[in-house]
Structure 1
Amino acid sequence: MLKTSASPTARTSTFVQKAKPSLSGIWNNCRGEAPGRQHHQHTWRRITVRVFNEQTLDMLRNAGWSEHRYVPLYDFIKNSPILFPLARSILIQFDGLQIGTSGAGVDCAASDIKFDSWPVYDSASEMEELCAANGKLFCPLGYCHCDHGLVVIDEEGKVFTFYDSLRLMGSSFEEGIQNILDGRSPR
């Protein structure tokens, strides 16, 4: 459960474009904005309450996380058109942390997670393709399974793993992270 100052709103626009769009074009089309208008100003919202199980909280705290943690992001990351406010607020609190281990899980393989803002820059073309195919924004939060896959969040807060395709891991940040660490399929 995420508590923020504003609840997410439903997107009613659809993405239809023949030519390969630019990232700013994808941002604008996913947001239902007029083509050509660039959205560079992001509102930073600190997410104040996180609901993790005790085991996940212990892992995060041992890795250096606290509710007041703040990690400044590089300008080229902060200005990325795929970095929407929810993803930004998560990276500001979790960037640089590594938790969990890969191995046997409950329903599938359990995985480690390395929160890292670098894929926001490095995986921009993959995120562009995901947005074009799904009509909404996706932003990587870091790596999973010994850097073989990405942990990705959409603008609704759903968390996925991404290897060759998306796999839903949770309907919220907390649920997705716990399911990845435990090797659970979302319920």
Structure 2
Amino acid sequence: MMTLPPAVLPIFAAAGWFPGRRVHLPPTVPASHPVAAILSEFHGLKVGELGPGIECARSDVSFWWPPDEGYEEISEIGALLQTELACFASAHNSHESLYVDGEGRVFVVSPEMPGIGFMGRNFGEAMERALLGLKASPLLLPSHDKVSWYGEVLLRGDPQILSIEKLMTG
């Protein structure tokens, strides 16, 4: 069972989730990857709604396999972290895609907001950020000099940017 923070439990319950929920997964879902644990519990649900949040807009999250694939940034971050990232949901009215890596860390990518965001070290933290409207941390990939983040252009060296090295060391 995935651990959900108390603040988002009512949001998931309103969408039809209940503790112990299990659904059959398509055979293409990699069973040994954290994506399988997420989808076995939440596949087919749409949770949350758009609106004002604590630091930024709240999001909705729609769980399905595979909602989106093929972002260059995802391939690059997977290579840097030496892990495979798997998409498990679309968010923000399908304008964003959520990915989980082999360690269970969650990332967000949007074609409308160049760059990649770090949503959380685990699924629960990521859901709290998305559903309550807490900002993700911008990641600046080595192949980029800047990232556009929540309407700001952040340059390499900006303290708001989470480096790959810091992400890897905790």
TM-score range, shorter chain: 0.5 to 0.7
Contact in 1 for aligned 2:104/2:123 (Cα 8 Å): yes
Change (3 A) 1:51 1:145: closer
Q: Are the counterparts in 1 of residues 12 and 48 from structure 2 also a CA contact under 8 Å?
A: no
For 2:49, the equivalent position in structure 1 comes to 101
Q: How does 1:8-27 map to 2 (within 5 A)?
A: none
Unaligned runs of 5+ in 1: 1-46
Aligned to 1:145: 92
What's the TM-score, normalizing by structure 2?
Answer: 0.68
The structural deviation recorded for 1:97 is: 0.6
Task: Kindly state the Cα deviation for residue 99 of structure 1 after the two structures are TM-superposed.
Answer: 1.0
SS in 1 for 2:89: strand
Q: 1:176 Cα shift?
A: 0.7
* Equivalent of 1:160 in 92, 107, 120: 107
* Whole-Å separation in 2 of the counterparts to 1:104 and 1:150: 20
1:66 to 18, 23, 36: 18
Partner of 1:123: 69
**Residue pair 1:84, 1:139 contacting (<8 A) in 2 also:** no
Shift of 1:137: 1.7
Tell me whether 1:52 sits opposite 2:5 in the alignment: yes
- Measure how far apart 1:129 and its partner are: 4.5
* SS of 2:20 mapped into structure 1: coil
Q: Does 1:174 align with 2:124?
A: yes
Q: Structure 1 residues 111 and 63, CA, compared in 2 at 3 Å: closer, same or farther?
A: same
Q: Percent of aligned pairs with the same residue? A: 29
Structure 2: runs of 5 or more not aligned: 138-170
Alpha carbons of structure 1 residues 51 and 146: separation in structure 2 relative to 1, 3 Å = closer
Shift of 1:58: 1.2
Structure with higher strand content: 2
For 1:112, the aligned partner's letter is D
3-state SS of 1:150 partner: strand
TM-score, length-normalised on structure 1?
0.62
C-alpha distance 125-179 of structure 1, shift in aligned 2 (>3 A): closer
Contact 1:63 1:99 (8 Å CA) reproduced: yes
Q: Which has the larger helix fraction?
A: 1
Answer yes or no: is the 8 Å Cα contact 1:159–1:177 preserved in 2: no
Which aligned runs of 4 or more in structure 1 are off by greater than 3 angstroms? 124-130
Please provide the CA RMSD for this pair.
2.3
Number of residue pairs the alignment of both structures matches: 133
Q: Which has the larger radius of gyration?
A: 1
Amino acid of the residue matched to residue 60 of structure 1?
F
Matches of 2:18 and 2:136 in 1, distance apart?
Answer: 26
